[in-house]
Copies of this chain bind each other. A is one copy, B any other.
Amino acid sequence: MRFELTKDFLEELRLEIKKQNSEWITEKVLGLHFADIAEIIDELNNDQAKYIYYLLDEDQQADVLMELEEEVRDRFLKSLSSKEIADQLENLDSDDAADILGELSDKEIQEVISHMEDDDAAEDIVDLLNYDEDTAGGLMQKEFIQANLDWPVDRCLVELRRQAEDVEQVYTIYVVDRLNKLVGFLSLKSLLFAQPKSKISDLYSHKNIISVKTTDSSEEVARVMDKYDLVTVPVVDFQNKLVGRITIDDIVDIIKEEADKDFQIASGISEKVEANASIWRSSRSRLPWLLIGMFGGILGAQVISSFEGGISEIPALAFFIPLITAMGGNVGVQSSAIVVQYLAKGSQFTNIFKRVSKEAMLGLLNASICSSIIFGIAALFENTTLAIVVSVSLFVVIVFAAIIGTLIPLILNKYKIDPALATGPFVTTLNDVIGLFIYFSVGMLLYNM
């Protein structure tokens, strides 16, 4: 029942676009859901995309435009004139229109706005451009439905019918007082079953009204909507006046972006970059972490060189350097990943001692298992002394790495630094250096006994 995009379909489509077969496209493409049409256009070049786009009706155009992948949309918009962009904006929700304008230069914005025919819509968009895009103000749309506290139900219905034309999806009606201050909300359900002469003030809910302020960060909005299971949230200004609403689909995007960002930071990529960012930008986002790693490697070299005598004497000590550093790194990353996720869930009253001692216990368990195994293998292939050195130091390294991996994100979090920074090159590098020091110290100690 759902549309599934295939390579064969794309090939056929490209052929029919070449033939300018608008009949075939009308039949096979235009009836699809806008998200499917966007998925198709994502795979086409600009000329092919335009051919389909201009066969769509105005509402479809707006919907499809917002569903396109960002780089496809940017490419597509660049090929339009200011007048053409203005026409597209008129059919978009104000938040989407503002997002698109936000990508343009000030001069281009002015040009596009001057071409817009609907003054109210233009004003809404210009207003939204004032807010930082990572705040509730930057996320909200001006399309929402509001009712006045002292309206009767029948007047409310008349007003709503007028307002509802602009608002695609109505979930909740916000109730305001004469000063436009948010005082509660009304479900469509209750309105549907109400007597025409009863008043909004008798019907509305005014307990536990959850709203966000224009200046709240997008992460805070996501947290609030998630915590209170909201599909939309009203946005108010500092005087508690209702100025917009945010819908859940924007929040789903933010939750996904947050997760992506954490995953990247933990993998040693510092800014949020897309897979198709330029090579220069990609390099800039990765180099800082590589340099940290390199700095660690140089420190490691210092540690080893201070034990140079030991290596000349017992070259076999060098064999297990990679094992020690790899295990310290892996254990550290595991511990810090768990702590980072724990912190991300927003448990505010973290008992640091409990967490560290649990990871230390777990470290002891894993260390016992790993060092027993490595003792057996090293004893088999090398000599017993080396086997003891490797297994004892591996034991110590694992326990240390577990504790460090736990502590660092907790400390970062305490100082309001993103703890995800810890789960990556940072913890690995630190554990490398400490691990090497432990390994060679144990080695020198045991060999000199």
| Closest beta carbon of chain B to A214's beta carbon, Å | 13
- Contacting pair A377 B208 (CB below 8 A): no
Q: Does A144 have its Cβ within 8 Å of any Cβ on chain B?
A: no
Q: Which residue of B lies closest to A224 (CB)?
A: B2
Q: Does A135 have its Cβ within 8 Å of any Cβ on chain B?
A: no
Q: Does A298 have its Cβ within 8 Å of any Cβ on chain B?
A: yes
Interface residues of A in 329-376 (CB under 8 A from B): 329-331, 333-334, 336-342, 348-349, 355, 358, 361-362, 365-366, 369-370, 373-374
Cα–Cα, bound, A30→B145 (Å): 30
| Closest beta carbon of chain B to A284's beta carbon, Å | 10
- Contacting pair B189 A286 (CB below 8 A): no
Cα–Cα, bound, A211→B294 (Å): 52
Contact A192-B191, Cβ < 8 Å, known A252-B255, A283-B362: yes
- Contacting pair A330 B264 (CB below 8 A): no
- Contact residues in B for A7 (Cβ distance below 8 Å): 349
Q: Does A445 have its Cβ within 8 Å of any Cβ on chain B?
A: no
- Contacting pair B329 A361 (CB below 8 A): no
Interface residues of A in 366-416 (CB under 8 A from B): 366, 369-370, 373-374, 377
Q: Which residue of B lies closest to A277 (CB)?
A: B338
Cα–Cα, bound, A255→B32 (Å): 26
- Contacting pair B316 A300 (CB below 8 A): no
Q: Does A177 have its Cβ within 8 Å of any Cβ on chain B?
A: no
Q: Which of these, B228, B334, B336, contacts A289 with CB under 8 Å?
A: B334
Q: Which of these, B5, B170, B189, B316, contacts A308 with CB under 8 Å?
A: B316
Q: Which residue of B lies closest to A333 (CB)?
A: B267
Q: Does A266 have its Cβ within 8 Å of any Cβ on chain B?
A: yes
Q: Which of these, B209, B334, B370, contacts A294 with CB under 8 Å?
A: B370
- Contact residues in B for A157 (Cβ distance below 8 Å): 192-193
Q: Does A327 have its Cβ within 8 Å of any Cβ on chain B?
A: yes
- Contact residues in B for A85 (Cβ distance below 8 Å): none
| Size bin of chain A's contact surface | 35 or more
- Contacting pair A208 B283 (CB below 8 A): no
* Stoichiometry (number of copies): 2
Could you say which of A113-121, A195-203, A424-432 contacts chain B? A424-432
Q: Does A260 have its Cβ within 8 Å of any Cβ on chain B?
A: yes
- Contact residues in B for A231 (Cβ distance below 8 Å): 169, 171, 231, 248
Q: Which residue of B lies closest to A267 (CB)?
A: B337
Cα–Cα, bound, A340→B330 (Å): 19
Q: Does A80 have its Cβ within 8 Å of any Cβ on chain B?
A: no
- Contacting pair A226 B252 (CB below 8 A): yes
Interface residues of A in 237-277 (CB under 8 A from B): 240, 248-249, 251-252, 255-256, 259-260, 262-264, 266-269, 273, 275
Q: Does A122 have its Cβ within 8 Å of any Cβ on chain B?
A: no
Q: Which residue of B lies closest to A300 (CB)?
A: B322
Q: Which residue of B lies closest to A398 (CB)?
A: B290
Q: Does A109 have its Cβ within 8 Å of any Cβ on chain B?
A: no
| Closest beta carbon of chain B to A237's beta carbon, Å | 13
Interface residues of A in 18-34 (CB under 8 A from B): 31-33
A315-B315, A321-B322 given; 15 more Cβ-contact pairs under 8 Å: A31-B208, A255-B259, A259-B263, A264-B338, A267-B336, A268-B337, A282-B338, A290-B327, A296-B322, A297-B322, A300-B323, A301-B320, A301-B323, A322-B432, A325-B325
- Residues of A at the B interface (CB closer than 8 Å) are 1-2, 5, 7, 31-33, 35, 39, 43, 157, 160-161, 164, 169-171, 187-189, 191-193, 207-211, 224, 226-229, 231, 240, 248-249, 251-252, 255-256, 259-260, 262-264, 266-269, 273, 275, 279, 282-283, 286-287, 289-291, 293-294, 296-298, 300-301, 304-305, 308, 311-312, 315-316, 318-327, 329-331, 333-334, 336-342, 348-349, 355, 358, 361-362, 365-366, 369-370, 373-374, 377, 423-425, 428-429, 432, 436
